[in-house]
């Protein structure tokens, strides 16, 4: 009779074998395109966590922040002192559009800077934080974003964050994660907190 212990061991060995096979098959060396989308909390923090990871290895990263450029941001305070270039939207754009023309112009300006970053082969990582909204509102042309991502340097990784990522982006991406909202303290009246929410 096989004991529980033996069964467990057999299962683990099988899993190990499957993982080993997958590891052996993963031989492509290139920068990735990642999309982090969904309605839950954790998209931008995930992207910034990856910037910290890259910088910790001595790599070079740049971040374009769409929407919340004027807002305080703990990650920007920290990472900009570690050589990370930030491109931010110079507008008080909020979720309700105030002025479509000035918002489009502000988005376009950051996008032009982001495009430079996507051509710069010294950058290992480029984050396009909250760009999905700019695309969905038609402030930035989807095709232009797809082209810029497609023609970036081979070793460069790009991370796009934001809710409702366009299908063309998720189809093009190598890795897509959807953060699902199970619950959020805000819905129970807990105020956004410094160091947690920004
Ligand atoms: P974070 O920057 O904390 O990782 P995020 O990038 O996933 O959040 P955004 O849609 O960019 O989420 O929203 C940013 C702000 O909105 C943060 O302060 C975050 O706590 C808050 N937020 C995120 N998800 C929710 C939610 N489901 N309900 C209410 N507020 C939310
Ligand atoms: Mg975010």
H runs (alpha helix) in 26-89 = 43-56, 74-79
Three-class DSSP category at 129: strand
- Ligand 1 pocket test target in 34, 41, 160 with most atoms within 8 Å of CB: 41
10-24, 86-100, 117-131, 162-176: range with lowest mean pLDDT? 86-100
Q: Decide if pLDDT at 26 tops 80.
A: yes
Residue nearest ligand 1's atom 30 by CA: 186
31-40, 49-58, 68-77, 103-112: range with lowest mean pLDDT? 68-77
1 CA distance to ligand 2 middle (Å): 54
Ligand 1 atom closest to residue 47's alpha carbon, by position in its atom list: 4
Give 86-123 pLDDT, tens digit per residue.
999 876 655 555 677 888 888 999 999 999 999 999 99
β-strands 125-129, 175-178: how paired?
A: unpaired
Which residues make Cβ contacts (< 8 Å) with residue 72, sequence separation at least 6?
194, 198
The pLDDT value recorded for residue 68 is 63
Name the closest ligand to CA 192: 1
Question: What is the rounded distance in angstroms from the CA atom of residue 120 to the CA atom of residue 168?
Answer: 24
The pLDDT value recorded for residue 31 is 97
Question: What is the rounded distance in angstroms from the CA atom of residue 104 to the CA atom of residue 134?
Answer: 8
Name the closest ligand to CA 186: 1
* pTM, full prediction: 0.90
- Within the chain, how many helices (H) and strands (E) appear? 7, 6
Cα 20 off chain centre by = 28
Tell me the two tokens of residue 137: 């509102």
Residue nearest ligand 1's atom 22 by CA: 41
Which of the two residues, 71 and 87, has the higher pLDDT score? Answer: 87
Task: Say if CB 155 and CB 121 are below 8 A apart.
Answer: yes
Residue 79: how many CB atoms within 10 A of its CB?
Answer: 21
Ligand 1 proximal residues by C-beta, below 6 Å: 39-45, 130, 161, 163, 179, 181, 184, 186, 192, 197-198
Ligand 1 atom closest to residue 197's alpha carbon, by position in its atom list: 18
Q: Decide if pLDDT at 85 tops 90.
A: yes
Q: Decide if pLDDT at 25 tops 90.
A: no
Question: What is the rounded distance in angstroms from the CA atom of residue 70 to the CA atom of residue 110?
Answer: 13
Give 126-137 pLDDT, tens digit per residue.
999 999 999 999
* Averaged pLDDT of the chain: 92
**Beta bridge partner(s), residue 35:** 160, 176
Which of the two residues, 96 and 179, has the higher pLDDT score? Answer: 179
Ion ligand 2 neighbours, Cβ < 5 Å: 43-44
């Amino acid at each position: 009779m096989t004991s529980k212990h033996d069964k467990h061991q057999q299962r683990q060995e099988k899993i190990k074998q499957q993982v080993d096979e997958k590891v052996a098959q993963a031989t492509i060396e290139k920068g990735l395109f990642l999309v982090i989308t969904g309605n839950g909390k954790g998209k931008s923090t995930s992207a910034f966590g990856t910037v910290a990871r890259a910088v910790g290895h001595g790599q070079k990263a740049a971040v374009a922040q769409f929407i919340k450029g004027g807002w305080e941001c703990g990650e920007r305070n920290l990472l900009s002192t570690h050589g990370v270039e930030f491109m931010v939207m110079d507008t008080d754009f909020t979720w309700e559009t105030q002025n479509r023309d000035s918002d489009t112009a502000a988005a376009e300006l950051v996008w032009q800077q982001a495009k430079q970053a996507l051509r710069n082969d010294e950058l290992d990582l480029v984050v396009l934080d909250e760009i999905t909204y700019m695309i969905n509102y038609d402030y930035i042309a989807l095709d232009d974003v797809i082209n810029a991502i497609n023609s970036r340097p081979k070793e460069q990784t790009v991370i796009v964050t934001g809710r409702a990522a366009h299908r063309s982006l998720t189809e093009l991406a190598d890795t897509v994660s959807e953060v699902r909202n199970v619950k959020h303290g805000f819905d129970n009246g807990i105020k956004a907190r410094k160091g947690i929410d920004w």
